[in-house]
Amino acid sequence: MNIKEYFVSIFKGFHSLIKGMEVTGVELVTPKVTEQYPENRAELHIPERFRATLEFIYDENGGHKCIACGSCERNCPNQTISITKRMVDLPDGKKKMKLDKYMYDLGSCTFCGLCVQVCPTNAIRFSNDFEQAVFTRSKLIKQLNYLPEKDEPAPAPAPAAKPAEAPAPAPKQETKENKE
Output the pLDDT for position 44: 83
CA dihedral 65, 70, 71, 77 (to 10 degrees): 120
| In-domain check, residue 135 | yes
Range in 12-21, 42-51, 80-89, 149-158 the model is least confident about:
149-158
Amino acid at 53: T
Closest CA to 72 of 147, 126, 30: 126
Task: Read off φ and ψ for residue 172, nearest 5 degrees.
Answer: -70, 135
State mean pLDDT over 141-148: 83
Q: Mind listing the pLDDT tens digit for each residue in 27-66?
A: 999 998 887 887 888 888 888 888 999 999 988 888 888 8
Tell whether the model's pLDDT for residue 76 goes beyond 60.
Answer: yes
Closest CA to 131 of 106, 155, 109: 106
What mean pLDDT value characterizes the chain?
83
Closest CA to 96 of 106, 86, 104: 86
| In-domain check, residue 26 | no
What is the pTM for the complete model shown?
0.61
Query: Per the structure, how many domains does the chain have?
Result: 1
Percent of residues, the chain, with pLDDT higher than 70: 82
| Count of C-beta atoms within a 10 Å radius of residue 122 | 10
The alpha-helical segments, DSSP class H, found in the chain are: 3-29, 71-75, 114-118, 176-179
Domain that holds residue 104: 54-143
Chain CA centroid to CA 143, Å:
10
Furthest CA-CA distance within the chain: 159
More confident residue, 173 or 137: 137
| In-domain check, residue 165 | no
From residue 2, give the alpha-carbon distance in Å to each of 7, 10, 11, 12, 16. 9, 13, 15, 16, 22
Output the pLDDT for position 15: 95
Q: Mind listing the pLDDT tens digit for each residue in 154-177?
A: 555 555 555 555 555 655 665 555
| In-domain check, residue 161 | no
Q: How far apart are CA 75 and CA 110, in angstroms?
A: 12
| In-domain check, residue 177 | no
Q: Mind listing the pLDDT tens digit for each residue in 95-112?
A: 888 889 999 999 999 999
Q: Domain with 80 in it: what CATH number?
A: 3.30.70.3270
| In-domain check, residue 71 | yes
Output the pLDDT for position 120: 93
| In-domain check, residue 173 | no
Q: How far apart are CA 150 and CA 167, in angstroms?
A: 48
Q: How far apart are CA 78 and CA 72, in angstroms?
A: 11
| In-domain check, residue 35 | no
